[in-house]
């Protein structure tokens, strides 16, 4: 479990694809400072498991479903990624409950600059639109954000200077794709409403990354 408060920007060192998966190696001195084998680290919003590590890097496996659903398709060495270690039970919930199981990707549609802030507008798919509400929580590339405006097929977030400098969102340009995770509470409500509908009785759902 994560909170969407990014601890550091990591750097992709290597991406080693195989037939139906890949291994990613990321330079992350802060996140590996107390990490161990099997620990969880969110990489731009995607929960990954440490399988190997060194003094300032870690390696994790990325399964085919995650590659298909996320921006972790073929990251180049040197690419920056947002990193967060799993939240300790005794820690503060500075952002919101983030699972690291993304719903898919969105495209950056526009960037509106301000004196001390920046508004980013992203695309919103029809299946995710019911889960995104004004002033609700959403994770974009693993960053816990508040929805500042929403339409039928788009949503906006307003970023302060700290977020722009501490995360990769400050480097995003129109056309870039980002990982999206909607609020887990909204997903539970949607699931309960679906099960209460007689027309959807007996349907099944698959797990997402």
The answer to whether 207 and 187 are in contact (CB under 8 A) is no
The pLDDT tens digits for 166-205 are: 999 999 999 999 999 998 887 777 778 888 877 665 555 5
Record the tokens describing residue 205, joined without a space: 């759902």
Mean pLDDT of the region 105-114: 96
The pLDDT tens digits for 131-172 are: 999 999 999 999 999 999 999 999 999 999 999 999 999 999
In whole angstroms, what is the distance from residue 131 CA to residue 121 CA?
16
**Is the pTM here over 0.85, yes or no?**
yes
The answer to whether 45 and 179 are in contact (CB under 8 A) is yes
Transcribe 91-102 into DSSP letters.
Answer: S--SS--B-S--
pLDDT at 94 over 90: no
């Amino acid at each position: 479990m994560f909170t969407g408060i990014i601890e550091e920007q990591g750097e992709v060192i290597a991406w080693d694809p195989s037939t139906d998966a890949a291994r990613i190696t990321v330079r992350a001195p802060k996140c590996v400072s107390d990490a161990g084998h099997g620990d969880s680290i969110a990489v731009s919003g995607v929960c990954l498991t440490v399988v190997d590590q060194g003094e300032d890097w870690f390696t994790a496996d990325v399964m085919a479903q995650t590659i298909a659903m996320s921006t972790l398709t073929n990251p180049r060495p040197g690419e920056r990624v947002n990193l967060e270690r799993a939240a300790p039970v005794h820690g503060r919930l500075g952002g919101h409950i983030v699972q690291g199981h993304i719903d898919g990707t969105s495209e950056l549609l526009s960037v509106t600059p301000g004196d001390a802030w920046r508004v980013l507008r992203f695309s919103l798919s029809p299946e995710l639109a019911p889960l995104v509400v004004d002033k609700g929580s959403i994770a974009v590339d693993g960053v816990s954000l508040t929805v500042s405006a929403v339409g039928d097929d788009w949503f906006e977030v307003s970023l302060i200077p700290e977020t722009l400098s501490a995360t990769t969102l400050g480097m995003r340009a129109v056309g870039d794709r980002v990982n999206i995770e909607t609020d887990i509470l909204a997903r539970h409500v949607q699931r309960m409403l679906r099960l209460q509908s007689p027309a959807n009785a007996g349907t099944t759902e698959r797990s997402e990354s």
